[in-house]
């Protein structure tokens, strides 16, 4: 967690890892025009391709939370997160990848109407596996929402594709730590001991 990183640091050389691991980054930011631009601009300048980025309000007025799913080598990303941390409108940055967290995504799909009971049961099974639920089936269309981890949604989509996936909209991942908050940011953004 960047905001609580110790002042003393030992870091290996900045050689890139071969593997570009998926990271889920959570940033608490000030809700103000331009904040998204600052964050995404910094990631762009460092050539990161954002897999998904969501922004929404939090329990605290005036503060928003961004969840950024991103692939990149660990050392490079750690350095970029430290740079994100110094953006004036960014209050906290955490890489959730290394701490217990829950991650969920919402997806909306429109499907071909199944051409028989067998197809329908396969479709329903795929939806069930990803927290899916049919919405407005009465109008003859087959639309559903899926609420699951991004990986579960990926799998469900693989199963749905051969059954006729007409349209897909994904919301991007949101995530939250599942450990108790150990620090509370003070007024000036520095964590309390």
Partner 1 sequence: MTALRLPDDQPTPVAARTVAPRIGARAVCEALVREGATTIFGYPGGTVLPIYDVLREFPLRHILVRHEQGGAHAADGFSRATGGVGVAIATSGPGAINLVTGLATAMMDSVPMVAITGNVPRALLGKDAFQETDIVGIALPVTKYATVVMDPDEVPLAMAEAFEIARSGRPGPVLLDFPKDVLQLETSAPHPEPHELRLPGLLRPVRGDVPEADELAELIGRAERPLILAGHGVQIADATELLRQVAERSEVPVAHTLLGIGNMDETHRLSAGYAGMHGWMHVNKAIQQCDLLVGIGCRYDDRITGKTSTFAPRATIVHVDVDRSEIGKNVRTDLGIVADAGDLLAALLRRLPQSEPRTAWLEQIAEWRVVSEARSWHGSGAWREGRLSADYVIDRIGEATGHQATLVSDVGQNQMWAARYFGFRKPFHHLSSGGLGTMGYAVPAAMGAALGTPERETWAVVGDGGFQMTMQELATLVQDQIPVRIAVLNNHRLGMIRQWQEIIYDENYHSAELLGPDLVRLCEAYGIPAWRATKPEEVDGVIAEARKAPGPALIDFHLDEAQNVYPMMLPGKGLSEMVEGGAE
Binding site for partner 1 (CB under 8 A): 2, 5, 7-15, 29-30, 34, 37-38, 41-42, 45, 75, 78-79, 82-83, 85-91, 185, 187-190
The beta strands (E) that lie in 73-164 are given as: 90-95, 101-111, 133-135, 142-148
Neighbours of 116 (CB within 10 A): 8
Q: Which is nearer to partner 1, 11 or 18 (CB)?
A: 11
- Angle, CA 140 vertex, CA 136 and CA 143 arms, to 5°: 45
Least separation, in Å, of the C-beta of 13 and partner 1? 4
The neighbouring-strand residues paired with 176 are 102
Q: Which is nearer to partner 1, 164 or 191 (CB)?
A: 191
Q: How far is CA 90 from CA 2, 28, 42, 148, in A?
A: 12, 6, 12, 28
Q: Which is nearer to partner 1, 25 or 153 (CB)?
A: 25
Residues contacting 88, CB < 8 A, separation 6+:
none
Q: Which is nearer to partner 1, 41 or 113 (CB)?
A: 41
The number of residues making up the chain comes to 193
Report whether 93 contacts 81 (CB < 8 A).
yes
Least separation, in Å, of the C-beta of 76 and partner 1? 9
Least separation, in Å, of the C-beta of 72 and partner 1? 14
DSSP character for 118? Answer: H
Least separation, in Å, of the C-beta of 43 and partner 1? 12
Least separation, in Å, of the C-beta of 56 and partner 1? 18
Q: Which is nearer to partner 1, 45 or 125 (CB)?
A: 45
């Amino acid at each position: 967690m960047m905001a609580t990183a110790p002042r003393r640091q030992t870091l290996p050389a900045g050689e890139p890892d071969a593997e570009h691991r998926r990271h889920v980054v959570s940033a608490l930011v000030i809700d103000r025009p331009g904040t998204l631009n600052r964050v995404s601009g910094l990631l762009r300048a460092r050539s990161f391709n954002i897999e998904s980025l969501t922004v929404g309000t939090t329990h605290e007025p005036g503060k928003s939370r961004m969840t950024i799913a991103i692939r990149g080598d660990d050392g490079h990303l750690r350095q970029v997160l430290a740079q994100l941390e110094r953006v004036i409108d960014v209050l906290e940055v955490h890489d959730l990848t290394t701490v217990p967290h829950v991650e969920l995504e919402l997806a909306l799909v429109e499907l071909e109407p199944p051409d028989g009971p067998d197809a329908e049961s396969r479709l329903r099974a795929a939806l069930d596996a990803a927290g899916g639920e049919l919405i407005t089936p009465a109008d003859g269309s087959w639309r559903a929402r899926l609420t699951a981890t991004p990986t579960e949604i990926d799998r469900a989509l693989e199963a749905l594709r051969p059954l006729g996936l007409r349209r897909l909209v994904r919301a991007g991942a949101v995530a939250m730590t599942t450990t108790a908050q150990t620090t509370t940011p003070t007024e000036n953004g520095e964590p309390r001991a």
